[in-house]
Amino acid sequence: MSHDHDHVRALVWRDDALELLDQRLLPKETCYRRLTTAAEVAEAIRCMVVRGAPAIGIAAAYGVVLAVRAGYTGKRDRWQIVLQEDLDRLAASRPTAVNLFWALRRMKRVIAEIADDPLERLLGEARAIHEEDIAANQRMGVLGASLLGERCAVLTHCNTGSLATGGYGTALGVIRAGYATGMIERVYADETRPWLQGARLTAWELTQDRIPVTLLADGAAAALMRQGEVRWVIVGADRIAANGDVANKIGTYSLAVTARHHGVKFMVVAPTSTVDLATPEGAAIPIEQRAADELLNFNGYPVAATGAEVWNPSFDVTPAELVDVLVTERGVILKPDSTKIADMMDTANSGSPMQAPIAL
């Protein structure tokens, strides 16, 4: 597969430290922050230096490596006790993205198996999580692009690309693959209020990789669909419940409703690490409430009436019945439901090699 349109990386492990591209400064400034402690990684996740569910999980895995480096004394019982505080801090950094907890559980399983110096094993596991994410994204890109059917324009929301993952992207991975094969002629990107991930990040990332992008206000998506300008809405996910309900960046639900009304197909692209079988339905997904200042101010400048109250959820839940296609590295599920997702996860947990089943 050609990766001519894939040059951005948000996370780099270099010289015993995690370097994160500070996404708060984009698109004006490209600045990598060098982190050497788990506390720094947790704070970077909390304040959105790094964001996007897969990238958060990868960052947390490297955070565990930094925690062990700081606390390891050569005595098994001692370093594991010291480590717990850092693990708790990492787990508390963002509540909705299930990849965070998936990555921490995976690292803890390795910790439980280690009898001597843990650093090499844990760094190897963190690197594996990172590399597997990129491979999964490239796989999902091929699978999702194969569903497009005809050359078309697509609409996306938030940022689901290399900035949100280990590399290549989930929804943007499908878009990259679709553009590379000539199936996608143009990408429309919602601005994604209030953090403007679409305007600052997706538009920047696509221009870096020479993919045509047209930015629109969140409220303009319905009018765009009515004009027949797009055939697919392609988004990522921060958590997928057992029944197929999808938590994603606030504004995704309204896109799904609007897409169904206009006959536009709705595709969710996410790795199986985003599926949470312990959460039966979307109503049980914890939705992060963020600070009022994000709406009341813009770049530190007040933009709202004094005394106005704020409701600022970071995510919303799209019910499974509005999802036409779910794409994971394990294959494609058309019209996802609890049975189809359970079958896919049984395949994912069996240890069998990646295949491309399509559940009808």
Q: Same structural domain for residues 272 and 349?
A: yes
- Is residue 45 within 8 Å of residue 103, measured between CB atoms? no
pLDDT in tens, 239-283: 999 999 999 999 999 999 999 999 999 999 999 999 999 999 999
Taking the whole predicted model, whether its pTM rises above 0.85 is answered as yes
Q: Same structural domain for residues 294 and 181?
A: yes
Domains identified in the chain, total number: 2
User: Is 319's pLDDT higher than 60?
Assistant: yes
User: Is 350's pLDDT higher than 60?
Assistant: no
Q: Same structural domain for residues 240 and 165?
A: yes
Which of 113, 134, 155 corresponds to the end of one domain? 134
Q: Same structural domain for residues 87 and 144?
A: no
Domain-located, residue 3: no
- Is residue 156 within 8 Å of residue 202, measured between CB atoms? yes
Domain-located, residue 102: yes
Q: Same structural domain for residues 157 and 129?
A: no
* Whole-number Å distance between alpha carbons of 188 and 146: 19
Domain that holds residue 146: 138-359
Q: Same structural domain for residues 218 and 336?
A: yes
Based on C-alpha coordinates, what's the Rg of the chain?
20
Q: Please, which pLDDT band fits residue 357 given cuts at 50, 70 and 90?
A: very low
Q: Same structural domain for residues 235 and 321?
A: yes
Question: 85-92 contacts: CB < 8 A, separation 24 or more?
Answer: 86/38, 86/39, 86/42, 89/38, 89/39, 89/42, 90/38, 90/41, 90/42, 90/45, 90/60, 90/63, 90/64, 92/42
Domain-located, residue 1: no
Crossing angle, helix 119-145 and helix 53-71, to 10 degrees? 170
**Domain of residue 226, CATH code:** 3.40.50.10470
Q: Is 4 annotated as catalytic?
A: no
Is 241 in a helix, a strand, or coil? Answer: strand
- Write the CB contacts of 40 (distance below 8 Å, at least 6 apart in sequence): 66
Whole-Å CA distances, 144 to 175, 274, 333:
8, 17, 11
User: Is 73's pLDDT higher than 60?
Assistant: no
Domain-located, residue 5: no
Question: Residue 84: its pLDDT value, please?
Answer: 86
Q: Same structural domain for residues 153 and 254?
A: yes
Token pair of 148 as six digits: 């497009």
Q: Same structural domain for residues 118 and 143?
A: no
Domain-located, residue 47: yes
Q: Same structural domain for residues 104 and 145?
A: no
Question: Residue 124: its pLDDT value, please?
Answer: 96
Domain-located, residue 6: no
Q: Same structural domain for residues 118 and 211?
A: no
- Is residue 133 within 8 Å of residue 165, measured between CB atoms? yes
**Which of 86, 238, 245, 276 does the annotation list as catalytic?**
238
Q: Same structural domain for residues 53 and 158?
A: no
Question: Residue 349: its pLDDT value, please?
Answer: 60
Find how far residue 261's CA is from the centre of its chain.
26
What's the whole-number mean pLDDT along residues 129-158?
97
Least confident of 90-94, 260-264, 297-301: 297-301
Q: Which residue in 128, 115, 51, 124 sits closest to 80, CA to CA?
A: 115
Which of 134, 168, 194 corresponds to the end of one domain? 134
Which of 96, 114, 134 corresponds to the end of one domain? 134
Other Cβ atoms within 10 Å of 347 Cβ, number: 17
Q: Is the peptide bond before 27 cis (omega within 30 degrees of 0)?
A: yes
- Is residue 355 within 8 Å of residue 331, measured between CB atoms? yes
Is 359 in a helix, a strand, or coil? Answer: strand
